[in-house]
Structure 1
Amino acid sequence: MFLGIDVGTFESKGVLVDRDGTVVAAARRRHGIDTPAPGWVEQDPEDAWWGDVCEIARDLVRQSPAAERIAAVAVSAIGPCVVATDVDLRPLRPAILYGIDTRATAQIERLTAALGEDEIVRRSGNTLTSQSAGPKIAWLKDEEPGVWQRARWFMTSQSWLVAKLTGEVVIDHATAGYFHPLYDLSAGAWDVSGCEDFVDAARLPRIAWTTETAGAVTAAAATITGIPEGTPVIVGTTDSPAEAVGSGVVSDGELMAMYGSSGYFIRVGDRPRPQDGLWSAPFVFEGTYVLASGTSTAGTATRWLADLLGLAGEQDELTFSRLIDLAHQSQAGARGVLALPHFAGERTPFQDPTSRGVLIGLGLEHTRADVARAVLEGVGHSIAAAILALCAGEAAVSRVVAIGGATQNPIIMGTVSTVTGLEQQVTDSPGAAYGNAFLAALGVGAVERPDEVRGWVREKERVRPDEGTRALLIADHANFAALYRALAPLQHERAR
């Protein structure tokens, strides 16, 4: 059997899977985020990450009468995060999260000016954005020099968890590719030239491929997790590539649309395809690459909306069911109300951490249902914009596979398919944890080829464009982009 655990923004999940892809045990644990200042998004690694991994692993082992048959373990987590630790792997401060944390704007501007945008793109295949881990390490040097000075390692989420399990400090190429400008995409190696004032390669993890073995579960980790000592642990990756694998997206031209707390979209390719405003990085298998885009809010916006409208129930399923039912009392186009759901800035295609949420077109005739519909459609417009950015270049998309909690929201899903014109295949995969289980199996040779994962994954439904609302929603989408452009100068001024 193969154990996969994924640590998400608000929840961690784990599965124990047999070699045929059958889930024999599952567990989950919720946690929160901290926002101690505007633009800051943090988590406590010990509680939110390691605590989740230990509890979920113990739960899975308890559920299975044959835990000794666990052949390999894989862990993924949100990323790219920045975790500064001492030599004993103790975090020196809360972890700085991925692109939803926008604190390093000044460092992005300074590094871009110092290195030159052309050199940054040549080296890393990307410009610097809030998704880049390098500027966040520079922020630590500038703003918390005591922490920076004491730090032995600058890691990301799953590399720290793998180190806790095995004692080995290692990061996969797919995640290292987001530590721009510190990773050379063509060389597949650290390159800190021009950045020596805030980091050196000796303080960064060793780089390896996702399915390589990082090490084995130590005696100490076995005691606290229940995973047998000596069990191989693969290098692992962040949640998004693991989600892609878990949804069966492993081949050139396939696109994974992850509808999570934020939106993240991966198009798999056979070579790097750097494109302005998108992220280019290695994928989890040697010789494969991704072109990626992302939004800052998706599920977080719907949770905010449900809370704002007083729809929260004892269970998430009830909360979101109430929200969808309310939105269905309105109609496509929300009777003229349009939302810009930039509650935490926006990533693709605007790359603007200062943008904020907007409702336009409100009149006395509008209801709570119209507001609910407008925000849900706004999330759909945001996701559609990020997907269309991926389709705009030379990287054709042959298949779209959708995964994540918000795939259960027909208004968001319908808006995306209708605006983009793309059919979406929704899978019943348990998500990134399931992808991790397959990667663990691949890592120890229990399966031989990446495309064998398609035998594990089953399609649940297909979402197609709605021709009846297509003209209306495409017009709204044009207005959505125009609304951002019109308000951006005012938003920037208010941010200053």
Structure 2
Amino acid sequence: MTYTLGVDIGTYQTKGVLVDDKGRVVAVARRDHEMIVPRPGWAEHRAEEDWWGDFVQVTRDLLAGSGIDPTEIACVATSAIGPCMLPVDGQGRPLMNGVLYGVDTRAEAEITELTDRIGEETILATCGNALTSQSVGPKILWLKRNHPELFDRTEAIFTSTSFLTFRLTGEKVIDHYTAANFSPLYDVDRQDWTDALASDIIALDKLPRLMWSSEIAGTVTPEAAAETGLAPGTPVTCGTIDAAAEAVSVGLTRPGDMMMMYGSTIFIIQAVSGRVTDPRLWYAPWLFEGEHASMAGLATSGTLTHWFRDQFARELPRETAFPDLAREAADTPAGANGILFLPYFSGERTPIHDPRAKGTFFGLNLTHTRGDMYRALLEGIAHGTAHVIETYGEIGQAPTRVLAVGGGTQNAIWLQATSDIGKVPQILREKSIGASYGNAFLAACAAGLAERGDIDRWNPVTQQVEPDPGAALEGQHDLFKRLYLQTKDIMADLS
């Protein structure tokens, strides 16, 4: 038997799996970490401890728990939250905490300046994406301006995944899918780095070498083998962003397929037949050469359930808090007894791209309960998701099927509200492990142990959630969008 290993670094948890060549899960390991919020609008991880340290421990746990000889592992693939921004020195050592994806809005001024200077139309034409809090280019410029002493020592800019790949193989690489988030430094038509739009951000030779996620970046070095327990010389793929690996795990294969990832954030990837250019959404080359993807994402989703538990359910045992809250919410009718919730706790990404947006409970009265508020929170996330689905429809890219995955799919209220408000059925597969399982499959493909169509055999469909036409949430969805528009200026003033 031959095995592949997949590890994913999430916002709050690292997860790894060992999978055999039939797709059967042999071992699973997890390790928790925290998202650091040093000030409002900032979000960070510690690269050595939270990324590499977690990878080492999870890998060792997988090997110890399975009893598998490391030499039987044919390939390793990784993914991580992204796109992140991590400056490193000449030895690849982090110079600061990793700056996270679109949930970190610190580069608002740089986004505005670059957009005004270059022009939104020019940026869209070259990069396929408007500059938003998801873009890495403005965050590099923020580093250069606010920490020039660190920038002067910077020899490379990594993301979370490229840092892992470097620690495993010594290779400085990045996949095209992740690189497309480096606007305005990536040309999507040429599929190469560019400084034509902004030569003052960083020298291009300090950006990693471009590859496809399905390619082998290198092999495990003796030093990495000593730390992780992997065998020296084990092939390692280039890696990718967590949501992309998650999409692979549920079979996103043909144009019209949409992956709905229920995680710390809702993240959406749709396979499309060609380049989609709309400032409300994101575009990138897909993981395989010649294929395309359109993306969207909320800033805070599952993160909000953690926030609510920690602030309003402290008396509940931590191990049962989420099921207990779900039962309370189930006692409340759809519509949360008239409460509207805006899930913009760290600004918002798609489709409004507003770093100054604020979270809101609206419509509270003295009869409302914690269950009402928790249900409103879940439905508010679903409203935000439906707003994205509507946007796809407006540009002629309505999904032909929606593939749901992630820990949030265990929450029946959240799952059903998304189908009801978004008016879409959702397909669930047997394994909802997510990105780490998708990584194991990508590793199997890279090692020649599987072909892309084999995912239907590895992870068969088990359930479909249908929209409930009687849910009576459509009117609330219009109110949800109006509430944002009518409070937008107040939100900005509060910033």
In the TM superposition, residue 388 of structure 1 has moved relative to its aligned partner by 2.3
Q: For the residues of structure 2 that align with 1:335 and 1:361, how far apart are their CA atoms?
A: 9
Match of 1:283 in 2: 286
Instruction: Give aligned-pair identity as a percent.
Output: 43
1:309-348 to 2 correspondences below 5 Å: 309-311=312-314, 313-316=316-319, 318-348=320-350
User: SS state of the match for residue 302, structure 1?
Assistant: helix
Match of 1:52 in 2: 54
Q: 1:101 aligns with which of 100, 104, 117?
A: 104
1:143-194 deviation line (CA, Å, top 9, x unaligned): 1111111000011110110000000000000000111111000110001223
Q: 1:423 aligns with which of 419, 422, 425?
A: 425
In the TM superposition, residue 391 of structure 1 has moved relative to its aligned partner by 2.9
Instruction: Specify the code of the residue in structure 1 equivalent to 2:427.
Output: Q
Q: Which runs of 4+ in 1 moved over 4 A?
A: 311-316
Answer whether contact 2:262 2:406 (CA < 8 A) is retained: yes
Q: For the residues of structure 1 that align with 2:347 and 2:151, how far apart are their CA atoms?
A: 27
Answer whether contact 1:348 1:389 (CA < 8 A) is retained: no
In the TM superposition, residue 314 of structure 1 has moved relative to its aligned partner by 4.6
Match of 2:359 in 1: 357
Match of 1:456 in 2: 458
Match of 1:480 in 2: 480
In the TM superposition, residue 5 of structure 1 has moved relative to its aligned partner by 0.3
Q: For the residues of structure 2 that align with 1:407 and 1:225, how far apart are their CA atoms?
A: 32
Match of 1:494 in 2: 494
Which deviates further from its counterpart, 160-169 or 372-381? 372-381
Which deviates further from its counterpart, 396-405 or 136-145? 396-405
1:89 aligns with 2:92: yes
Q: For the residues of structure 2 that align with 1:322 and 1:258, how far apart are their CA atoms?
A: 23
1:372 aligns with 2:367: no
In the TM superposition, residue 365 of structure 1 has moved relative to its aligned partner by 2.1
User: SS state of the match for residue 264, structure 1?
Assistant: strand
Q: For the residues of structure 2 that align with 1:205 and 1:144, how far apart are their CA atoms?
A: 21
Q: For the residues of structure 2 that align with 1:322 and 1:192, how far apart are their CA atoms?
A: 52
1:72-87 to 2 correspondences below 5 Å: 72-87=75-90
Match of 2:299 in 1: 296
Instruction: Specify the code of the residue in structure 2 equivalent to 1:204.
Output: L
Q: For the residues of structure 1 that align with 2:298 and 2:478, how far apart are their CA atoms?
A: 18
In the TM superposition, residue 198 of structure 1 has moved relative to its aligned partner by 2.0
Q: For the residues of structure 1 that align with 2:316 and 2:169, how far apart are their CA atoms?
A: 40
Answer whether contact 1:291 1:390 (CA < 8 A) is retained: no
Q: 1:141 aligns with which of 144, 156, 165?
A: 144
Match of 2:186 in 1: 183
The TM-score with structure 1 as length reference comes to 0.97
Answer whether contact 1:271 1:287 (CA < 8 A) is retained: no
1:109-145 deviation line (CA, Å, top 9, x unaligned): 1111111111100111111000001100000001111
Q: For the residues of structure 2 that align with 1:15 and 1:386, how far apart are their CA atoms?
A: 31
Q: For the residues of structure 1 that align with 2:67 and 2:257, how far apart are their CA atoms?
A: 35
In the TM superposition, residue 315 of structure 1 has moved relative to its aligned partner by 4.4
Match of 1:12 in 2: 14
Instruction: Specify the code of the residue in structure 1 equivalent to 2:229.
Output: G
In the TM superposition, residue 348 of structure 1 has moved relative to its aligned partner by 1.2
Answer whether contact 1:342 1:357 (CA < 8 A) is retained: yes
1:259-313 deviation line (CA, Å, top 9, x unaligned): 1001100001231111220001111111111111100111111111122222565
1:465 aligns with 2:479: no
Instruction: Point out where structure 1 has 5 or more consecutive residues left out of the alignment.
Output: none
The TM-score with structure 2 as length reference comes to 0.97
RMSD: 1.2
User: SS state of the match for residue 293, structure 2?
Assistant: strand
User: SS state of the match for residue 16, structure 1?
Assistant: strand
Instruction: Specify the code of the residue in structure 2 equivalent to 1:479.
Output: L
In the TM superposition, residue 353 of structure 1 has moved relative to its aligned partner by 1.1
Answer whether contact 2:383 2:422 (CA < 8 A) is retained: no
Which deviates further from its counterpart, 125-134 or 437-446? 437-446
Which deviates further from its counterpart, 69-78 or 54-63? 54-63
Q: 2:72 aligns with which of 57, 69, 75?
A: 69
Which deviates further from its counterpart, 388-397 or 90-99? 388-397
Answer whether contact 1:272 1:289 (CA < 8 A) is retained: yes
Q: For the residues of structure 2 that align with 1:135 and 1:312, how far apart are their CA atoms?
A: 42
Quickly say closer, same or farther: Cα 1:65–1:444, change in 2 above 3 A. Answer: closer
In the TM superposition, residue 349 of structure 1 has moved relative to its aligned partner by 1.4
Answer whether contact 1:311 1:323 (CA < 8 A) is retained: no
Quickly say closer, same or farther: Cα 1:330–1:429, change in 2 above 3 A. Answer: closer
Paired residues in the alignment total 491
Answer whether contact 1:429 1:458 (CA < 8 A) is retained: no
